[in-house]
Structure 1
Amino acid sequence: MDVRMFTVGPVQENSFLVRRDGSDRAVLVDPGEEAPRLLEAIDALGVTLDAILLTHCHFDHVGAVAPVAKATGAPVYCPQLEVPVLQDIMAYVPWAGFGPFESWDPEQTVAGGERLALAGFDVDVLFTPGHSPGHVTYALSAEGEAPALFSGDVLFQSSIGRTDLPGGDHPTLLASIATLLDRFDDATVVHPGHMGLTTLGAERATNPFLAELSAQQ
């Protein structure tokens, strides 16, 4: 798996361009901002986008969706519960000074439980609410390879997603993290929406916010 991470915008959000090694097909996860930079990377790699995958629709994760989708023709996969946000992004920006962002009508919706075949990957869509109501995590795997998680704002290095925005809920977020810890092994790499890469094992062992989960086991 060839993963290129681009940290974009004033909120320092991570967008990921993912392909199988040497493939000319790829997916883009959470194009938050800086569409020209993302498009330049797509062109430089010589890949065709099979899909734009959205973990959730907070503005810092979807600000570049419209220009990238227009330029590439790639279908946008959006969490079903958050389609209205993508269709009217600026109405959901909670602070002044961000944007303007162009809204988009997604070509596909996901709710969790789907298995997609995109760019040579099996993509399992996992419902992981708590940071936002419709949040999903994408588990990408290819034959003979361990899956990699693209988890948006669920789990970070030594932290977890905030739950003080509309639709956030702390117990729900912890329950979502628990489903990931139960399903995947400790070596599973987590590609989060902010900060650096981590593994489930590292977070299980050291993340102070997961102490509640340990206490429940």
Structure 2
Amino acid sequence: MDVRMFTVGPVQENTFIVRPDGSDRAVFIDPGDEAPRLLAALRELDVELDAILLTHTHFDHVGAVAELARETGAKVWCPEIEVPILADINAYMRFPGLGPFESYDADHTVAGGEELELAGLTFDVLFTPGHSPGHVTYSVRDEGALFSGDVLFEGSVGRTDLPGGDWPTLARSIRALLERFDDDTAVYPGHMGVTTLGRERATNPFLADLGAPS
């Protein structure tokens, strides 16, 4: 699998182009900002965008969605609980000086438990709330990869002080990932660096406080 990470926007969000090695079809995960740069990357790779997958709808993860969808024709999968936010992003903005952002009406929804066949890859959708009410994580089957959005970071975890955030809920979501996937599973997070579940299990102080299984 070929994963290209781009760090974009004022809060340094990670967005990813994901495709099978050498394929001319790809998926974008959480295109948060800098749409012209992301479109240029697609042209440079000479790939067709099959889909845009969203882990959640905070502004820093969806700011480029509408432009990418319009320019590529790709359909957008959004957590169903958060569809109203994507459809009216600026009404939910609580950070002065940022935006405005272009809203988008989701083409498809996910809630957890779905299996998506896109661009030659199989994505299992996992419901991982706690950072936001509808947050999902995408696991790429047979590739040992998780796209964790703002659930789990390198050395940290998603914040829970935004509307709809809840630490006990986030802790359960993280514990479920640790119990389900091997230590060598790669974690592609919404902020900071790429890591593995094993590294986070061993070194992440939030997971120690969580009482994660050894």
Structure 1: how far apart are the matches of 2:213 and 2:70? 47
Structure 2: how far apart are the matches of 1:214 and 1:174? 9
CA deviation digits over 1:98-125, x for unaligned, max 9?
1111000010000000001001111000
Matched, 1:37 2:37: yes
- 1:159 counterpart residue number: 156
Q: The residue matched to 2:211 in structure 1 has which SS? A: helix
- 2:203 counterpart residue number: 206
Shift of 1:194: 0.2
Structure 2: how far apart are the matches of 1:69 and 1:117? 18
Counterparts of 1:181-192 in structure 2 under 5 Å? 181-192=178-189
Q: The residue matched to 1:16 in structure 2 has which SS? A: strand
Aligned length: 214
Structure 2: how far apart are the matches of 1:73 and 1:128? 28
Please, which moves more after superposition, 192-201 or 206-215? 206-215
Corresponding letter in the other structure for 1:193 = G
Q: The residue matched to 1:4 in structure 2 has which SS? A: strand
Counterparts of 1:75-114 in structure 2 under 5 Å? 75-114=75-114
- 2:54 counterpart residue number: 54
Structure 1: how far apart are the matches of 2:109 and 2:65? 14
Corresponding letter in the other structure for 2:19 = R
Structure 2: how far apart are the matches of 1:121 and 1:78? 18
Q: Could you list the structure 1 runs, at least 4 aligned residues long, displaced by more than 2 angstroms after superposition.
A: 212-217
- 2:130 counterpart residue number: 130
Structure 1: how far apart are the matches of 2:184 and 2:178? 11
Matched, 1:193 2:190: yes
Corresponding letter in the other structure for 1:31 = P
* Structure 1 residue ranges without an equivalent (≥5): none
Given the superposition, is the C-alpha separation of residues 160 and 215 from structure 1 closer, same or farther in structure 2, using an over 3 Å criterion?
closer
Corresponding letter in the other structure for 1:197 = V
Matched, 1:168 2:165: yes
Structure 1: how far apart are the matches of 2:131 and 2:149? 9
Corresponding letter in the other structure for 1:71 = E
TM-score (norm 2): 0.98
Structure 2: how far apart are the matches of 1:186 and 1:214? 16
- 1:139 counterpart residue number: 139
Corresponding letter in the other structure for 2:135 = H
Q: The residue matched to 1:100 in structure 2 has which SS? A: coil
Corresponding letter in the other structure for 2:158 = G
* Structure 2 residue ranges without an equivalent (≥5): none
Given the superposition, is the C-alpha separation of residues 215 and 58 from structure 1 closer, same or farther in structure 2, using an over 3 Å criterion?
closer
TM-score (norm 1): 0.96
Q: The residue matched to 2:23 in structure 1 has which SS? A: coil
Corresponding letter in the other structure for 2:168 = P
